Amino acid sequence: MTGTWIVIAGVVVGVVIGLALRPPGARREPATRQPPPRERLVALLAAADELERGLDAVLDFGPLSAGELAAVDLPAKLEHLVAPRVLTCPTVAELRACTEQIALHPFPEQRELLAAVRADQRPAAMSATWLVMREAAGSAAAQHHAAVEARRCLATIRDQLTPELPGPTPALV
């Protein structure tokens, strides 16, 4: 029984000494460590490159249908860029609007085009093929215009990030 009291007294004395010797400004380090500014800027530039590759897919292979737009996944790439909350310029809102514009105008799927051609075999007041082709041309133009504007916004953001990126740290020999 006395051994237990000795152990308890030792623990209490250790806690009191630990609290007394603790520096006043000391605090526990947060569980998630913020990366240094250089690493954060490099990560943002990498996210900008990913988004630009998605925009290049829209420009090079576009217009894209809804399924193809889901595969490119521009909203997720945009979130990787703006999630750290480092970018606060109005260009980010414009970039978000451009990527949403791309998503709002998917190119008609091939089955829709085929259904319109089949529907044209019956007489109608307005050609179903003409309506689908007009929608396809409009979505192609809207996607292309929004992708060009998004690339311009992305270039502005990249120009803002690049001067903030400090030079490489010299290696110790």
User: What pLDDT, in 10s, does the model give residues 113-161?
Assistant: 667 666 666 655 456 666 666 677 777 788 888 889 989 988 888 888 7
Taking each helix axis as running N to C, give the angle between helix 128-164 and helix 37-61, from 0 to 180 degrees, rounded to the nearest 10. Answer: 160
Domain assignment present for 88 = yes
Domain assignment present for 146 = yes
Query: Which comes out higher in pLDDT, residue 154 or 108?
Result: 154
Q: What integer pLDDT is reported at residue 29 of this predicted model?
A: 57
Domain assignment present for 11 = no
Domain assignment present for 25 = no
Q: What are phi and psi of 84, to 5 degrees?
A: -65, -5
Domain assignment present for 26 = no
pLDDT digits (tens, 9 = 90+) for 2-43: 788 888 888 888 888 877 777 665 555 555 655 557 778 888
Domain assignment present for 10 = no
SS3 114: helix
Domain assignment present for 59 = yes
Range list of β-strands (E), the chain: none
The gap from C-alpha 99 to its chain's centroid, in whole angstroms, comes to 11
Domain count of the chain?
A: 1
Task: Reply yes or no on whether the pLDDT at 96 is more than 70.
Answer: yes
SS3 65: strand
Q: What integer pLDDT is reported at residue 172 of this predicted model?
A: 55
Q: Which of 15-19, 55-59, 84-88, 97-101 has the lowest mean pLDDT?
A: 84-88
Of the candidates 127, 109, 98, the residue with the CA atom closest to the CA atom of residue 63: 109
Domain assignment present for 129 = yes
Q: What integer pLDDT is reported at residue 42 of this predicted model?
A: 82
Domain range for 46 is 35-163
Of the candidates 35, 54, 67, the residue with the CA atom closest to the CA atom of residue 146: 54
